[in-house]
Amino acid sequence: MNTWIRDALFALVLISVVWAIRSALPSDLWKRSQPLTLRATVDVAVEDRWILPHTVDDRPLAKPPLVNWLSAPIVEAFGFTAWSHRLVPAMAALLTCLFTMRLARMFHTSDAVVYSSALLFIGTWLGYKSLLLVRPDPLLVLASTLGVWSILARMQGMRWASAVLCCAIGVGWLAKGIAVLPLILLACWAPRIARVPRSDWPRSPAWIIVVATVPYLVWLVATELVHPGFPADVLLGEEILGRMSGTGAEAAGRSPWQLLFGIWKLPVHFVLRTLPISIFAILAWRKLPRNDLAVLLFWFVLLHLLVFGFSASRRADWMMPAVPALSVLAACRWCVNWRSPFPASLALCAFMLAVMGWNEMRTSKAWTRPLESFANQAREKIVAQPAPVLVVGNDRNHLVGLLGLSGVDHHEPTSKEVLEHWLDASVSPGEGFWIVAGDRPAFGTQPPQRAVDGVGSWGHLEGPVHWMLEVEGDAMEYMWPGALRLGWARRRQ
């Protein structure tokens, strides 16, 4: 019990420090499909679409919505702010850090080595990014870490280990679907991989896997009822077969042969993204004694590379769940030999955080602060005077999610007929409504006008638009329309 308390306190301090560092850096909510997750969470909270929340252009989310289910009550209670959307990933990161240390205690009892495993996890690019990412990935990382710990606990005969493994696999299914496959494979093959005598094998995990998969299957059936064809067309066709065959949106037109011959790039990419612990882990693996259970950590990483090597996207988020196991392997089988493992790991973590912080500053966008400041101010005015909100001329960023809206973002060139249809469906004659307009040409005139000009001359309005809030930034670019305005308009009688 004392080690649990010490590990929990250390994880709390470490994650709090990283949260403070990340909060001081420019926002990255516009990167790595985070706007999609924000929009889906808002859709759950505002429209009560719990089974299949919608995102940009009113399209269904292509991932299981566990992170949205957990985040929706929080953002509804505390407001649609950046920190409220990050709260669930931060809690997942705290538990991941804790179970990384618990996993390390299965191989070494020294506090210095155990704490070093957490520092090495935080001090990598993939580990750092997985902490506060508003995506399903932090939950998948937590499920994978908890699952590896429970697999080892089952092999040591610990009570409740099977129940914990069942929960871990269930969370993995509902967090990111088929991405939990490496954990399932390790659960099935762990005794054979570790060369444990047959008489010492735990019971087959078949019933655990079946029970853990039931909630995911129930969700699949519910999505079929709500949106017929969605599981086959999107979850199976697009997310799995499309990635492997090169025909999906993530495949970028690559053929199956290109995917096959490009498998070697994934381990290289993984080693580079997890420096320096990847080097430590390789050195540790070369010196592992026979029948050392730490080989399961290495195989968990290898299974990730084997399973997702056939994916066309090969993005970094697929490799995040393997980082805690890699850090434990490096700490307990290599860094343990250092004279002072904890000070060395702390210095290494601090150096890597400084480098990653500098990179965040270097690659940040100047318009992120103006956009989020505009969202906060506009949200206050909209809440003070509730009315329908028309968004036009924006550019698929996280603005709509921070405004707490779930409607369509008319970011592409559209027509007056489309907006008149929205007006007829949302605003009664003589009633007022809000307009959030960017400078991106989107009103469908020839030549294309800025949205603010097109909306201002709309014949269905009673008088001109009263623009009361404006934020300008740099020139128009990807995801930034150049300027944002909040206006109040009234429909003609």
pLDDT, tens digit, 9 for 90 and up, residues 175-209: 998 889 999 999 999 999 988 888 888 888 999 99
Contact 342, 116 (CB under 8 A): yes
Q: How many CA atoms lie within 13 A of 457 on its CB side?
A: 8
Cα–Cα distance measured from residue 316 to residue 313, given in angstroms and rounded to the nearest whole number: 9
Q: How many CA atoms lie within 13 A of 464 on its CB side?
A: 5
**Residue 442 clears pLDDT 90, i.e. is over it:** no
Rounded to whole angstroms, what are the CA distances from 235 to 60, 103, 286, 316, 404?
11, 32, 39, 20, 27
Sign of CA dihedral 439, 361, 273, 100: negative
Cα–Cα distance measured from residue 39 to residue 85, given in angstroms and rounded to the nearest whole number: 10
- Residue pLDDT, tens place only, 249-282: 555 555 555 566 566 777 888 888 888 899 999 9
Locate 348 and state its tokens.
Answer: 């290494």
* pLDDT at residue number 210: 95
**Residue 152 clears pLDDT 60, i.e. is over it:** yes
Radius of gyration (Cα) for the chain, nearest Å? 25
Rounded to whole angstroms, what are the CA distances from 472 to 334, 453, 476, 479, 489?
52, 16, 10, 14, 21
Rounded to whole angstroms, what are the CA distances from 264 to 123, 258, 275, 305?
25, 11, 18, 10
Residues 6+ apart with CB under 8 A from 47: 53, 54, 406
Q: Is 198 exposed, middle or buried (0-12, 13-18, 19+ CB in 10 A)?
A: exposed
Cα–Cα distance measured from residue 112 to residue 341, given in angstroms and rounded to the nearest whole number: 6
* pLDDT at residue number 347: 94
- Residue pLDDT, tens place only, 347-403: 999 999 999 999 888 888 888 889 999 999 999 999 999 999 999 988 888 999 999
- Residue pLDDT, tens place only, 134-151: 999 999 999 999 999 999
Instruction: Give the phi and the psi of residue 97 in degrees, each rounded to 5.
Output: -60, -40
Lowest-pLDDT choice from 125-139, 220-234, 411-425, 440-454: 440-454
* pLDDT at residue number 337: 86
* pLDDT at residue number 434: 95
- Nearest CA-CA partner of 176 in 337, 10, 61, 310: 61
* pLDDT at residue number 319: 85
* pLDDT at residue number 251: 54
Strands 483-490 and 409-410: unpaired
Confidence band, pLDDT 50/70/90 cuts, at residue 121: very high
215-232: average pLDDT:
92
Distance from the first to the final alpha carbon of the chain: 70
* pLDDT at residue number 455: 85
* pLDDT at residue number 262: 61
Angle of helix 295-308 versus helix 181-193 axis, rounded to 10: 140
Q: Record the pTM.
A: 0.92
- Nearest CA-CA partner of 474 in 365, 316, 387: 365
Name the more confident of 290 and 479. 479
Instruction: Give the phi and the psi of residue 435 in degrees, each rounded to 5.
Output: -130, 120
Q: How many residues does the chain have?
A: 493
Average pLDDT, the chain: 88
Cα–Cα distance measured from residue 441 to residue 418, given in angstroms and rounded to the nearest whole number: 15
Locate 78 and state its tokens.
Answer: 């505390």
- Nearest CA-CA partner of 28 in 174, 131, 172, 140: 131
58-84: average pLDDT:
91
Rounded to whole angstroms, what are the CA distances from 139 to 158, 270, 286?
24, 20, 31
DSSP assignment letter at 436: E
**Residue 443 clears pLDDT 60, i.e. is over it:** yes
* pLDDT at residue number 313: 60
- Residue pLDDT, tens place only, 51-66: 999 887 778 888 899 9
Locate 412 and state its tokens.
Answer: 């592409």
Confidence band, pLDDT 50/70/90 cuts, at residue 11: very high
Name the more confident of 479 and 243. 479
Residues 6+ apart with CB under 8 A from 234: 60, 62
Cα–Cα distance measured from residue 245 to residue 260, given in angstroms and rounded to the nearest whole number: 10
Residues 6+ apart with CB under 8 A from 50: 44, 65, 69, 72
* pLDDT at residue number 10: 95
